[in-house]
Structure 1
Amino acid sequence: MKRSLFALTASACLLAAGGLQPAFAAQPKVEHYEYGAHLDIAKVISMEPVPTVCKVVPLHMLYQDSHGQQHMLEYEAMGNGCMD
């Protein structure tokens, strides 16, 4: 019984991992933002929400440029959990 449960769980994990692989393969390479960099953003596809913490955190934005290419941009932002 334990072996069959383990085999079933392992199979489910492998199927789930295999199902996620194409989504990760389609993601563009992460580009790191530097102050003053020119960004060609025609359309924002998705952005991570700013977490409720009181520190600088890395965030990601997926966008499309004016040529239709997708880019993943990593930038830093101050969390919105600080009290005055």
Structure 2
Amino acid sequence: MNTKTKSIAAACLFAALNICTLSARAEADVTPQTYSYGSHLDIQKVVSLKQDNSMTCGIVDARLTYLDSAGKTQVLDYRKFADGCNEDN
């Protein structure tokens, strides 16, 4: 691989890493809101869904990161049944 190709590959890798960390930095700058029944949600696009790790069925803490209709990042904390509950119907 010649020097020019290595430079281009390094620049692409650097750009990809910056894009991946952009949403993490944006989430860190946003104060999470806690969901309550009747909360108005202005969700244009979901960025990520996370939940506490649980191997059993039960209630866990979860976090929704999304973009609102103005393109601003929002974070919502809520409680939900663990994904392991889907098998226990």
Band the TM-score falls in, shorter-chain normalisation: 0.5 to 0.7
In structure 1, runs of 5+ residues without a counterpart are: 1-21
- The structure where helix makes up a greater share of residues is 2
Counterpart-to-counterpart distance in 2, 1:44 and 1:80: 18
Alignment-derived partner of residue 77 in structure 2: 74
Q: TM-score, normalised by structure 2?
A: 0.58
Q: TM-score, normalised by structure 1?
A: 0.61
Across the aligned residues of Structure 1 and Structure 2, the Cα RMSD in angstroms comes to 2.6
Q: How far does the alpha carbon of each residue in 1:12-66 deviate from its partner, in whole angstroms, 9 at most, with x for none?
A: xxxxxxxxxx938843111100011110000000111574422111100100000
In 2 relative to 1, CA 58–26 (structure 1 residues): closer, same or farther, beyond 3 Å?
closer
Give, as a single letter, the amino acid of the residue that structure 2 aligns with 1:79.
A
Aligned residues: 63
- Runs of 4+ aligned structure 1 residues displaced above 2 Å come to 22-27, 49-53, 80-84
